[in-house]
Amino acid sequence: MPPPERAATAEPQSAINPSMGVTEWVMLLTLSVLWGGSFFFVGVAVTALPTLSIVVLRVGLAALTLWAIILVLRRPAPMNGEVWAAFFGMGLLNNVVPFGLIVWGQQTIASGLASILNATTPLFTVIVAGLLLSDERMNALKLIGVTVGFVGVIVMIGVDALSGLTGNVWAQIAILGAALSYAFAGVYGRRFKRLGVDPLFTAAGQVTASTIMLAPVAILIDRPWDLPMPTVPIWSAIVGLAVLSTALAYILYFQILRRAGATNLLLVTFLIPVSAILLGALALGERLGWVHAAGMALIGLGLAAIDGRLFKRRRAV
């Protein structure tokens, strides 16, 4: 019988699929809905809690949820030091650095502009992955696809949001820095496949490491003992944010990363605004305009270009 850490992590190694299949696309769309819904949960939570406290509760409760699932499944956790060092590296790149930069940046720039700047993540990912990963090389079709998708995000959110570009340059650089950190996180996360770590453990390890790093900062800055006790609606929003938009979302995140690679995974950044706008229309009765439809069409065209199969078929004909 293999030792516990090998039993927990051993999985067959296989190459990624640069052209996603139906399963990967469904997972990516589901992930975009889960992360799109996080805007609703955060919108409720910020009425009563400071930002850092929300982030720590989000990753902390997500960690408890994921370890509870692992306990129920009776799966031994990986105890390898290299694996846990990778968890902290992933938590730093995927949570601590980008969350901190986004929180700081959004203090002085509008959320619409922040969303557009954050949508540069796939562009950074195509470049970073193309330089660092042999099986995710950059090509013209990918660059065209992310550019078209990025334009689609601008159209859908509203060109007026770009008027904020004349404002605080350092805050804008901070949001771009967060997007770059997400890109490096996607590339860095590819190592968990080499290490043989199951996506469930990777998700649990990352949010656990993030909680350990962020909790002392939140305690020092927010002084939670001075805050009023949150009401039931606030706690409900926090639980939804932690369980759905974090725990479940990160299981999908690392599953997609394992199967389809960093470039395909970070396309979710284009889809999150789509999900958020559609959820607002369905749940809150918000109206959809032609600009939303045009933006979604451009995003769809960009995703098709990055996937590449449609264009290969046209060339074959």
Q: Is residue 211 part of a domain?
A: yes
Q: Is residue 157 part of a domain?
A: yes
Report pTM.
0.78
Q: Indicate if the pLDDT at residue 149 is higher than 60.
A: yes
Q: Indicate if the pLDDT at residue 279 is higher than 90.
A: no
Report residue 6's pLDDT band, with 50, 70 and 90 as the boundaries: very low
**Residues of the domain holding 307:** 27-316
Q: Indicate if the pLDDT at residue 194 is higher than 80.
A: yes
Q: Is residue 191 part of a domain?
A: yes
Q: Is residue 14 part of a domain?
A: no
Q: Is residue 9 part of a domain?
A: no
Structural domains of the chain, count: 1
Start-to-end CA distance of the chain, whole Å, equals 54
Report residue 43's pLDDT band, with 50, 70 and 90 as the boundaries: confident
Q: Is residue 11 part of a domain?
A: no
Report residue 145's pLDDT band, with 50, 70 and 90 as the boundaries: confident
Q: Is residue 118 part of a domain?
A: yes
Average pLDDT, the chain: 81
Report residue 21's pLDDT band, with 50, 70 and 90 as the boundaries: confident
- pLDDT value at residue 313: 53
Place of tokens 């955060």: 42
Q: Is residue 5 part of a domain?
A: no
